[in-house]
Amino acid sequence: MLRNFLKLSKRKVNAPLCSCRNFTKTIMASDQDKFALPSAYAQSQTNVWVEYVQLAMAYKPLNIGQGFPDFAAPKYISQALCDVAQSDNPLLQQYTRGFGHIRLVNALSKLYSPLINREIDPQNEILVTSGAYEALFSTIMGHVDQGDEVIIIEPFFDCYEPMVLAARGIPRFIPLRKTTAGSTGVASSQEWALDTKELEGLFNSKTKAIIVNTPNNPLGKVFSKNELEIIANLCKKWNVLCISDEVYEWMVYKPNKHFRIATLPGMWERTITIGSAGKTFSVTGWKTGWAYGPAKLMHNLQMVHQNCVYVCPTPTQEAVARGFEYELPRLGQDDCYFISLPRELETKRDYMVKFLTETGMKPIIPEGGYFIMADYSPIAKDVDLSTEKDKYKDYRFTKWMTKNVGLQGIPSTAFYSEPNKNLSENFVRYCFIKEDHNLQKAADLLLNWRAGVK
């Protein structure tokens, strides 16, 4: 009888142990799911900048892909930061106003008010952000809700899409398409345009916003006043917000002119414009940007900002403010940095167009910005793309060039949505805001490689 009792007890004890093991497995699986990436970011991938910075660190090529200057900023702007760091005013090393350092928002108001043809309230209509990147984030997160549609013009800066998705919005894409052949045989970014009917077809009652980037990164297209009027009329018809990314506003090449969509009739009330000190003063590492627009729209950005970044660094804001104060009396004059920089860049642009053409590529001459998209397909036969395993040809081309020629560009499909990447697989993006000797080195690398192939 005792033996039977023990057998029965063993079965009763073992049964729960077996169930406990299954329960433990369930808990472990549940814990793994519990710490998965939230659904708002589940569609995000490692972006091209993370991947290509790692590539550059491993192979140490000449990097003319990423968009930052490799030369010094204007002396007065770097000296301003030095002066702030050594200032006897202790408050300049402490928190400043959350929505923007007073001296900086006042300077931005003085700069943009005459350009927008209206007085901008510095405390309610300007927000200083951690770079233009955060200005975009605060704008999109502050205005896009679940199910809202956002029109994105391609090619686009690659953060637009994941930010819209993170806000539970729905990106709707429309590519700029080549319209005519260039009369000189070398294409211009002016030849890429929106199909008006296609654009009209994207607007509907669910459309919350459209993102317009002019001058465009990476194409370099500067939208004409007529093109912006078409967009503006559709925004007014459907009561749509325009997010105008104008970080390259000063880098426009003659005879082109930068038009601000917020100045068009009825558009101030529905436009948020984004700018960047990094681009304006060649100090991308300072990560200081801003957004401006009507107070009602800016309130939403302020709510996102105060619960995310809250306040940007005081010393850099103070230094940028002093930089603007230095330039404001010089606006429009030859010695103004906003005039002299594009003059320098135009020479660099033309030089890069020349050596890319001599290499056998087909560059698109940008009207603005500091990037060039170049069609590499004429020389693709001399590149062993089979040695790289990426899905898209431009990734394979740029990686092969990095490893074998010592020159790094950026694959242009990174700036297109998945359905439209085929439009750009034959292009690579290069950056020409570089020292002349580095542009010369880039030319030598390419031309020597081509000579060796031939």
Q: What is the pLDDT along the chain (454 residues), one digit of tens a residue?
A: 445 544 444 444 444 444 545 544 554 455 668 888 898 888 777 789 999 999 999 999 999 999 999 999 999 999 999 999 999 999 999 999 999 999 999 999 999 999 999 999 999 999 999 999 999 999 999 999 999 999 999 999 999 999 999 999 999 999 999 997 555 578 999 999 999 999 999 999 999 999 999 999 999 999 999 999 999 999 999 999 999 999 999 999 999 999 999 999 999 999 999 999 999 999 999 999 999 999 999 999 999 999 999 999 999 999 999 999 999 999 989 999 999 999 999 999 999 999 999 999 999 999 999 999 999 999 999 999 999 999 999 999 999 999 999 999 999 999 999 999 999 999 999 999 999 999 999 999 999 999 988 6
Range(s) within the chain of domains with CATH label 3.90.1150.10: 48-72+336-453
Residues of the chain with CATH 3.40.640.10: 75-330
H-only helix segments in 243-375:
277-280, 295-306, 314-327, 337-359
Which of 259, 250, 161, 145 has its CA nearest to residue 211? 161
Q: The whole model's pTM is what?
A: 0.92
Give the CATH number of domain 48-72+336-453.
3.90.1150.10
- Confirm or reject CATH 3.40.50.10490 for domain 75-330, answering yes or no: no
Whether 290 contacts 126, CB under 8 Å: yes
Q: What is the DSSP string of 364-415?
A: EBPSBSSEEEEE-GGGGGGS-GGG---SSHHHHHHHHHHHHTSEE-EEGGGG
